Chains A and B, each alone.
Chain A
Amino acid sequence: KAGVTQTPRYLIKTRGQQVTLSCSPISGHRSVSWYQQTPGQGLQFLFEYFSETQRNKGNFPGRFSGRQFSNSRSEMNVSTLELGDSALYLCASSTGTSGITDTQYFGPGTRLTVL
């Protein structure tokens, strides 16, 4: 079974631009979560989508948004980029169902650099 894939792996943008990151979950997984990882703040939860609906949301400004498609693929968008948005953005997929079988599997991440 293929793992979680994220594209692109690396991105360089300038302040004020916007960016879209993509995540393809493991086949059969309906939940996709996004995390931001920075040296200063560590791993921070952005949001989770399940069956095309945002189910959980972290404490990030409205510039960060996402969506999920009917095939469970997810995109994350950041508008009006700031220098502080430079980070590794990780996507994780899981079945999204309750119970002990639910485990998140992470993709390799997208490294975003804002200049």
Chain B
Amino acid sequence: AQSVTQLGSHVSVSEGALVLLRCNYSSSVPPYLFWYVQYPNQGLQLLLKYTSAATLVKGINGFEAEFKKSETSFHLTKPSAHMSDAAEYFCAVSGNTNAGKSTFGDGTTLTVKP
């Protein structure tokens, strides 16, 4: 069984500030971990994924995440927030060898203040 917990349903940062969105996972097998972003009335867009090739994963739009097995965490960061980053972010885990059945966290809404 696998699960993810996203800490903080709402995060607010100022434009240009560091973005940190937290995700902890639980998986009985080596996990595949994902971060997605969802803009209003749209589907999910993949930001990045961890597949055990490297613990620091770089994604699109300047986002990156670090896999820490000892802390069972996969936090998402971006050095400098932009207004266009305002959206809802989801962490997901897939314990299978394929991504067909993913378990999602509850989501974190990121607000960026000017």
Where the two chains meet, the residues of A that have a C-beta atom closer than 8 Å to any C-beta of B are 4, 31, 33, 35, 42-43, 45, 48, 50, 55-56, 58, 90, 92, 94-100, 102-109, 111
Contact = CB atoms under 8 A, between A and B. Distances in A.
Given A43-B107, A103-B34, 18 more contacts: A31-B100, A33-B101, A33-B102, A35-B104, A42-B105, A48-B101, A56-B101, A95-B98, A96-B98, A96-B100, A98-B98, A100-B51, A102-B97, A102-B99, A104-B34, A104-B99, A106-B45, A109-B43
A109 B99 contact: no
Contacts of B96: 56
Contacts of B104: 35, 42-43
Majority DSSP secondary structure for residues of B touching A:
loop
Interface residues of B, number: 26
Interface in B36-54: 36, 41-46, 49, 51-53
B90 interface: yes
B85 interface: no
B103 interface: yes
